[in-house]
Amino acid sequence: MDSCNGMSEKKNFLSLIVVMIVILILLAMSIMLTGCTGRVSDKSESEDSAQNDTMLSSYPEYIEVETPLGTVKGAVNGDVFVFKGIPYAKPPVEELRFAPTQPVEPWLGVLDCLDYSAAAPQVGSIEGSNGESEDCLYLNIWAPAAEKNLTDSEAGAPVYVFFHGGSYSKGAGSKPVNDGTYFAEKGIILVTVNYRLNALGFMALEETMKQYGTTGNFGTLDQIQALKWVRDNISAFGGDPKRVTAGGNSAGAFAVSALMISPLADGLFSQAVLESGCILSSPVTSPYNRGDLEKSLDMSRRYAEMFGAEDSSEGLSILRKADADFLAHNAVFSLNFIDPATYSFWPVFDGAVIPKDPLKAVKEGRIAPVKLFAGYNTDEGSLFIDEDITETDYKTSAYLMFGAQKAEKILGKFPATEDHSAAARDRDLVTMSCFRAGMMEYADKLSAMGQDVYLYHYDYMTPTLLKTGLGATHASELPLFFGNAKKLDREGETLSREMHLALVNFIMNGDPNVGFERPSGLLWPKYSQQSQGDQQSEINEANTMLFSTECVIEGVAEMEDLDFIRELMFGSGMIR
């Protein structure tokens, strides 16, 4: 009897051991399936144990994705996967400063992508970024969780690559306004990109032209490399590399329009979004170099002299050893168009990255055949022109932007009067020349080529802006398009939904009318070319969406005045 009891106890003990082993195996398998492992290369055993204990008691906090370059770990935020600070290029330091962008090399182990990278060196700080550093070529991804991917395409989700603004001298993809959560929740992968800025990104030297066949467009080459990274890697995140929309606001719109005529960006995106800006307006926006190669080289030579450097191989070595912050902080863009900054570096029409004559390239059809979503704000110029400027200030602004002969025509056409103050005139001039004229050249050409074009006019003031007197000023539309606007009234909340869903529909389907139902229910017609010059039509078709407290379809606002400005800017070639 005692022998039988002993055998029974042994069997029970063995059974218990088997059950425990099975439980441990199942737990291990569940952890592997969730993809919630720590970074292999630098996690201690105790850290891994603590992390695993947490994960067993809650929904996974992390997700790992294997890309062709290596594995990245991101965060799980509800139905959205977020990856911050993914490297897309080698750090542009030492011998890679003032050199074309180099692709990032593969890595071993798991790369933590839970925090934003540093922003490019610049004046001021950027909320959300991890300081400033030349080691800044990183991108961020918001992707719909696999089971929540709302796209009908078996190939994957549509992708929106967004380039931030900041006059090519400041900014970062980590700004809170650029958070892509609302896009990802609707089935779109949003990618934001850091790129080199100011002198570090756009300084033009004959020495770098001799060595690399290009100069002054290193920030643009960063943007091209980011798009190549998306092409080669985005499918790992559930994206379709053939459904990429490139977009940006302000300098980001200038950037995307430059990419549309760059032979190096051919085929990297099929749709474009331009919010307030076009590279054709560079000559009036950056008057001391106007995008012109020779003027840019001359300005860069004078800037290099500050650092004791000539435009030579030895001088380039000196510049590569110079303090990065000092290089950046003395090369800023002035928001005061009456007194523009002496050293404001912008993309250069070098003939390699950007055609030497961008206007000619557009007119000859050497522009990416993409669908276009583009527009402007009513009061763009209020950010750049103070309310209390004098008539002399207005004249100064016109002369700087257009040169004496054309400026006199502008002052004759748009004089300062009791009904139209100098500030009002100058603000309208900045709005039309810097943010509308070039964009309309793109819209007309693409429409004539048979591409779908959708134009908008933003004319809404948030309660906060209403207090400033700036009106619907430059860049104020961006939070509404992203769905991230704060402190809106009821009309603003409705308008934000309207704008966000219109952009979502365009990115997903190439048409703002197809997809999610917008609050207005308005049919947004395609823009059709408004004839210019000798063939100018007296008919101004209503095919522009007015985003305001009440959305309506309107014609091109102030078309006669805009045509006058376009003729001065482009009628006899670009301003040099």
Give the residue-averaged pLDDT of 123-140: 90
Under 8 Å CB-to-CB from 233, ≥6 apart: which residues?
A: 67, 68, 69
Q: Is the pLDDT of residue 19 over 70?
A: no
How large is the angle between the packed helices 251-260 and 218-233, nearest 10 degrees?
A: 70
Give all strands (DSSP E) within 188-259, no chain letters: 189-193, 239-249
In the three-class reduction of DSSP (H, G, I as helix; E, B as strand; rest coil), residue 140 is classed as strand
Identify whether the C-beta of residue 94 lies closer than 8 Å to the C-beta of residue 163.
no
pLDDT by residue (tens digit) across 366-404? 999 999 999 999 999 999 999 999 999 999 999 999 999
Catalytic residue among 235, 250, 257, 281: 250
Q: Is the pLDDT of residue 87 over 90?
A: yes
Give kind and range of the element (H or E) at residue 435.
helix 422-435
The mean-pLDDT minimum among 16-25, 61-70, 333-342, 356-365 falls in 16-25
Give the residue-averaged pLDDT of 251-258: 98
Under 8 Å CB-to-CB from 118, ≥6 apart: which residues?
A: 129, 130, 131, 132, 133, 135, 136
Q: What is the pLDDT of residue 27?
A: 47
Q: Is the pLDDT of residue 358 over 50?
A: yes
Model pTM score: 0.88
The mean-pLDDT minimum among 116-125, 392-401, 417-426 falls in 116-125
Q: Across the strands, what pairs with 502?
A: none
Question: How many Cβ atoms from other residues are within 10 Å of residue 266's Cβ?
Answer: 12
Q: What is the pLDDT of residue 108?
A: 97
Average pLDDT, the chain: 89
Q: What is the pLDDT of residue 49?
A: 36
**Amino acid present at 276:** S
pLDDT by residue (tens digit) across 198-210? 999 999 999 999 9
Instruction: State yes or no: is 250 an active-site residue.
Output: yes
| CB-side neighbour CA atoms (13 Å) of 387 | 4
Q: What is the pLDDT of residue 60?
A: 62
Identify whether the C-beta of residue 375 lies closer than 8 Å to the C-beta of residue 455.
yes
Give whole-number Cα distances, 371 to 25, 83, 506, in Å.
53, 28, 9
Tokens of 184: 């990802």
Give the residue-averaged pLDDT of 31-46: 36
In the three-class reduction of DSSP (H, G, I as helix; E, B as strand; rest coil), residue 220 is classed as helix
Reduced 3-state DSSP string for 396-413: HHHHHHHCHHHHHHHHHH
Give the residue-averaged pLDDT of 503-532: 92
Phi, psi at 321, each rounded to 5° = -100, -10
Output the CA angle 346-196-402, nearest 5 degrees: 10
Give the residue-averaged pLDDT of 430-450: 97
Give the residue-averaged pLDDT of 462-489: 96
For residues 237 and 64, what is the distance between their CA atoms, to the nearest angstrom?
A: 10
Under 8 Å CB-to-CB from 51, ≥6 apart: which residues?
A: 36, 38, 43
pLDDT by residue (tens digit) across 165-195? 999 999 999 999 999 999 999 999 999 999 9
Identify whether the C-beta of residue 300 lies closer than 8 Å to the C-beta of residue 205.
yes
Q: What is the pLDDT of residue 40?
A: 33
Q: What is the pLDDT of residue 450?
A: 96
Give the residue-averaged pLDDT of 342-370: 97
Give the residue-averaged pLDDT of 468-489: 96
